[in-house]
Amino acid sequence: MNENRINSLNEKAQQESQLRQKIVDIENQLGEQVQLLNKSFARIGVSEKLYFFKFTGNHVKKIISRIEDVVAPLAQELKENEVIVKTMNALQRMGYVQELSDSKMVLKEKDQEEFAHALYDLLNYLIDNFADLNVKYKPHFLFKHILEFMIKFKNIQMFSEQSIESVHRIVNQDLKRVTAPDEEYKLKQILRWNLEKNFIHDALCADFTMPMSAHQREKQSRLLGNLNELNINQ
């Protein structure tokens, strides 16, 4: 009986050893694929933010627009994986919604219908294939409120957080001016300064401008130059 038990334990140990080896082999294979994936990201100028280990909005946009190039180097088995295929299809639908949202400032009825159809197509695809996906506040606003905004204002470009994001640079500049340790005081000062800037801009003239970076000044100069050329030609 002891001999049978010993044989059973030896067989179990051998099976566990084989299983561990298979796990190691899978991890090694996945590690190689992850390296290939990271190289694909690097080729299109995409990398995770070091602190949060997440992609920025611009990086996600690049991934969406070039998703086929990103997965091209992966093993065929992975490219045919059901989850990866579904994810690619979802990203392509997201890309189409993104493309339509950047298209025009004023949307005609036909444009509104096209956007609504693309949005519902994305939503239904996510419901059918990613039912367990948690919907956070940004997708909630997108799927629940953007159509109402579009119908009312005939525009979806303004339904964006980019205008808020652009304030970060201004706030960061103002923070350098406040050396007080009181965080509440800092925020109050920044709010007061921005209120004063808005008042001066609205009350005096449109020539009052916020401090611009070198890139912004170059872009403004180029746009004004193009406008002047257009006026001369006319």
- Residue pLDDT, tens place only, 87-107: 889 989 988 888 888 767 788
Please, which pLDDT band fits residue 51 given cuts at 50, 70 and 90?
A: very low
With pLDDT > 70 as the criterion, what percentage of the chain qualifies? Answer: 70
**Which one has a higher pLDDT value, 118 or 34?**
118
Q: Which two tokens stand for residue 4?
A: 């049978």
Determine which of 62-71, 101-110, 215-224 has the lowest per-residue pLDDT on average: 215-224
Whole-model pTM: value is 0.58
